[in-house]
Amino acid sequence: ENRPIPEPGPNEVLLRMHSVGICGSDVHYWQHGRIGDFVVKDPMVLGHEASGTVVKVGSGVTHLKPGDRVAIEPGVPREVDEFCKTGRYNLSPTIFFCATPPDDGNLCRYYKHSASYCYKLPDNVTFEEGALIEPLSVGIHACKRAGVTLGSKVFVSGSGPIGLVNVIVAKMMGAAAVVVTDLSASRLQKAKEVGADFTIQVKNETPKEVASKVESVLGCMPEITVECTGVQDCIQTGIYATRSGGTLVLVGLGPEMVTVPIVNAAVREVDIRGIFRYCNTWPVAIALLASKRINVKPLVTHRFPLEKALEAFETTKRGEGVKVMLKCDPTDQSP
């Protein structure tokens, strides 16, 4: 609250923040102070799923003006390297990323950001939808990497926020049938609400048994599996479940080392692909939201003012609801 309002550089904009979603990574940094090699060594502002209003623009900014409502892409390359030149800037080792140490996030009243990575929101797209473009982008990037297309049979492992956006995007991209697994009955119900065709509540089954259930409900093995948990058993299930010649995309991040039936995947030519965040997804997401081709509004289950951020984080930590949203602008009365 006592931080000075930052001054935007020539190619930056100053934003009055509006909506910021809480991600599992935010909670993990708060609780553990690190994720893999990213270690919190100094005080750091959290938050990277965000939207706000432009209040000031740098001298070199021409596509935005004060009053514009924007969604913020949190990853900004610091230099134009080989990854940027080939359109895969998310892989740039120099990338700035909100709320990844040592870079501050945007869970605050005022925030400055590269203007090129702020995207104007159409009038019919809300601030909350703008903030949800970040998790939605994970689904867009994952489904593109997976090759989801017309008629695809898709298995989504995990029904948290990222599993749900993959369901939404897979259906949008033409998947004929999507089956979702999870431990939680309430989360599977939410998967049904956003478009899942089948759900399987996992209890004590082995990975092979879960894979068999997936095949049973689909009537065939899925060509595509999107693994959103990072849990070893679930990754194993993903390999066993995926049709020979199909693709398994690993979205969820768990332990650094896991034991998987790699020979099973190799001899059946199951392609295993990773994703790292996303790239080139904000314009796609905004077009989908503006055209009402997708609906992400059901994902938001809790809302808190910034003053109750701790309560919001505790709610997320307990696994209540789906997406917890913080409202940073006390003067704004929009729903």
First to last CA, the chain: 24
- Residue 335: predicted pLDDT: 46
More confident residue, 258 or 37: 258
Orientation of helix 185-193 relative to helix 161-172, angle to 10°: 30
- Residue 2: predicted pLDDT: 67
β-pair partners for 103: 100
State pLDDT tens for residues 230-244. 999 999 999 999 999
Rg (Cα) of the chain, in Å, rounded? Answer: 20
| Predicted TM-score of the model (pTM) | 0.96
List, as one string, the DSSP characters of 224-276.
EEEE-S--HHHHHHHHHHSPTT-EEEE-S---SS----HHHHHHTT-EEEE--
Which string of b and e fits 213-232 if b means at least 16 CB within 10 Å?
bbbeebeebbbbbbbbbbbe
The pLDDT of residue 186 is above 60: yes
Sorted by where each starts, the structural domains of the chain and their CATH numbers stand as 12-120+296-327 (3.90.180.10), 140-274 (3.40.50.720)
Percent of the chain residues topping a pLDDT of 70: 98
The pLDDT of residue 138 is above 70: yes
Q: What is the sign of the dihedral through the CA atoms of 78, 83, 89 and 95?
A: negative
- For the residues 38-63, what does the mean pLDDT come to? 97
Minimal CA–CA distance to 116: which of 56, 78, 53, 73? 73
Residues 203 and 108: their CA atoms lie apart, in Å, by 40
- For the residues 163-175, what does the mean pLDDT come to? 98
Query: Where does 33-109 have alpha helices with state H?
Result: 82-85
List, as one string, the DSSP characters of 270-324.
-EEEE--S-SS-HHHHHHHHHTTSS--GGGEEEEEEGGGHHHHHHHHHTT-SSEE
The pLDDT of residue 291 is above 90: yes
More confident residue, 54 or 35: 54
- Exposure of 271 by Cβ count < 10 A (0-12 exposed, 13-18 middle, 19+ buried)? middle
CA atoms within 13 A on the CB side of 162: 24
- Residue 175: predicted pLDDT: 98
Mean pLDDT of the chain: 96
Which string of b and e fits 36-74 if b means at least 16 CB within 10 Å?
eebebeeebebbbbbbbbbbbbbeebeebeeebbbbbbb
> CB atoms < 10 A from the CB of 313, how many?
20
Six-digit token string for 228: 């959103």
Least confident of 8-12, 279-283, 310-314, 330-334: 330-334
- For the residues 162-166, what does the mean pLDDT come to? 98
Please name the amino acid found at residue 258. V
Orientation of helix 127-146 relative to helix 161-172, angle to 10°: 70
